[in-house]
Amino acid sequence: MAEDWTRDQGQRPPPVSGERVQGIPTARSRFSKTAEQPGHGSDTRGQVIKAGLGRAGWEASDIGQARTRNIEHAMHETHGVTASAGQIYDDYRRAGHIGRQQGPTAYDVQLPGMADPHAAPRPPKWEELSPETQSHLHVALAKHGTSIGQMTEDFGAQHDQATMRALGHGHDTPYAQTFYSTGEPRQVIRSSAREMGIPELIHAQMNAFTSPNTKFTHSLKSGETTYPNDMAAKHAVLHAKSGGDPAELREMGSAREMRRTGLVGPEDTRRVQGYPANLEKAAQAIHQHLAGVAPADWRTGQGAGAMGNALKVKGGVEVPIGHSPWESSPKTGPYANSWSDTHPQYFVSDVHSGGGGGLPHLSSFKGREGGDSERELGIKGIPHFHVAMDYAARQAMVQRGLPSVRETQAAQWGEEQLQRREEAETKGWSTSHYPTVSEAYPEAKSRRITQRGSSGQESLF
């Protein structure tokens, strides 16, 4: 297991910057009710050791061995080379086989007064938590079969697999790495923002609000590519800019028809995808943006009204109606900010990235009855999981000399999708939600996860 890098660092003060941070838990938070006791997963050095819940069995399985195989293991097995991940990445970069990442770096700190006024607030970083909260988070991770050090290893291994897959197909950039920076999705966000006359980062936030249950891209049988998530965001923005009441977007009828905002022709009755409440949230946010309210001060939700920042009296004090749209989902702010080329980045944790990268031993299968998968329950059951995943990802990046959080995460996210398709193929599950290897790397042919490497274990590439 990789060393837990937190044990010798002590508590650091939060960075002095213009960034807005969501509430940082204190010693009087709910963590203080369950003080850590001996035997809860820590050794004398403060490292969290591996816990149960099937982690050991998963590691011993073919798929577990394949999933935890990193670039150091691969180089030793195939070439007899013994070197660190950082050395291997450096050699590949110097030889021009791996492209250099672009954009904001993991160690950027926003200078006071220089923060992007359109940036969303982010969750706290590990270094900003109290030692007590860190301790209880260690315990929660151990109960779910992992630790900061283990998550660092797991995330790093999957990014290595993305890199090795790309190299194997003659590419210097893993699939999806440029999703936020220069790829087609970024061009869609930029074009739509320009079309509607709003800042690019504000439109990225609208996409963040409307993203649940909505695909970013969708390929039609005709070969045309559509962008359902961006279409929903544009519909909400145009509805608000025309003076429409955000509450109308909760309706399942004509208020959600694209012709209402000119996105389709007058005879077309197609409706935008996604949850109606999220369309309303996006429209409320745009109303507030147009009124000069900063994203960190937005209030959304039922009862918030069109402006979202109306006041009501509670206990003799005026308080905003509604709630912060960022507090309800810790990934929303980091996802929106990932589209910025200047703002410091924070790891975006969802079931593909945070769950796939940090909790690979927990199943992603929902079962016939639906509901949350083991992986989703793990993310929900670990308080401040997003904080731990951001920290673990940054440690894996340091080990490999990777500067960009958004590009590293996007590459891992792309690899997770490819691996989940391979798993689905072997088990007879639906694969329609995931790209094929040939789509990710056009000259490649899709390979199943059951392909065997020279060591006899299953290979992911």
What is the per-residue pLDDT across 218-249, written as a single tens digit (0 to 9) for each? 888 888 889 999 999 999 999 999 999 999 99
Alpha-carbon gap, residue 139 to 4, rounded angstroms? 14
Question: What pLDDT score does 10 carry?
Answer: 39
Unique residue bearing structure tokens 């149960």 = 52
Q: Give the containing element (helix H, strand E) for 312.
A: strand 311-314
Q: What is the mean pLDDT of the chain?
A: 84
Q: Is the pLDDT of residue 38 over 80?
A: no
**Rounded Cα gap, residues 344 and 109, in angstroms:** 6
Q: Is the pLDDT of residue 319 over 90?
A: no
Give residue 218's pLDDT: 87
What is the spatial distance between Cα 335 and Cα 320, in angstroms, rounded to a whole number?
Answer: 25
CA atoms within 13 Å, Cβ hemisphere of 256: 18
Q: Exposed, middle or buried, 5 (CB in 10 Å: 0-12/13-18/19+)?
A: middle
Residue 43 has pLDDT above 50, yes or no: no
Identify the pLDDT of residue 44: 27
User: Which residues are CB-contacts of 123 (< 8 A; sequence separation ≥ 6)?
Assistant: 21, 22, 330, 333, 334, 346, 384, 386, 387, 390
Which residues on adjacent β-strands are paired with residue 122? 21
What is the structure's pLDDT at 193? 98
Quote the CA–CA distance of 142 and 12 in Å, as a whole number. Answer: 24
Calpha distance 216→282 (Å, rounded): 16
pLDDT value at position 41? 35
Instruction: Say whether pLDDT at 457 is over 60.
Output: no
Q: How confident is the model at residue 75 (pLDDT cuts 50, 70, 90)?
A: very high
- Secondary structure E strands in 37-192: none
Q: Where are the domains of the chain?
A: 30-173+353-440, 184-296
**From the CB of residue 132, how many other CB atoms can be counted at a distance below 10 Å?**
18
- Quick one: pLDDT band at residue 316, thresholds 50, 70, 90? low
Lowest mean pLDDT among 21-30, 294-303, 387-396, 433-442: 21-30
Number of H helices, E strands in the chain: 16, 4
- The pLDDT tens digits for 343-369 are 999 999 998 899 999 999 999 888 766
Q: How far is CA 82 from the centre of its chain?
A: 32
* Three-state SS at 271: strand
The percentage of the chain sitting over the pLDDT mark of 90, rounded to a whole number, equals 64
User: Helices 405-427 & 148-168, crossing angle to 10 degrees?
Assistant: 80
Q: Rounded CA gap, 363 and 429, in Å?
A: 14
Q: Which residues pair with 323 in a beta bridge?
A: 300
Predicted confidence (pLDDT) at residue 125 exceeds the cutoff of 60: yes
Quick one: pLDDT at residue 17? Answer: 67
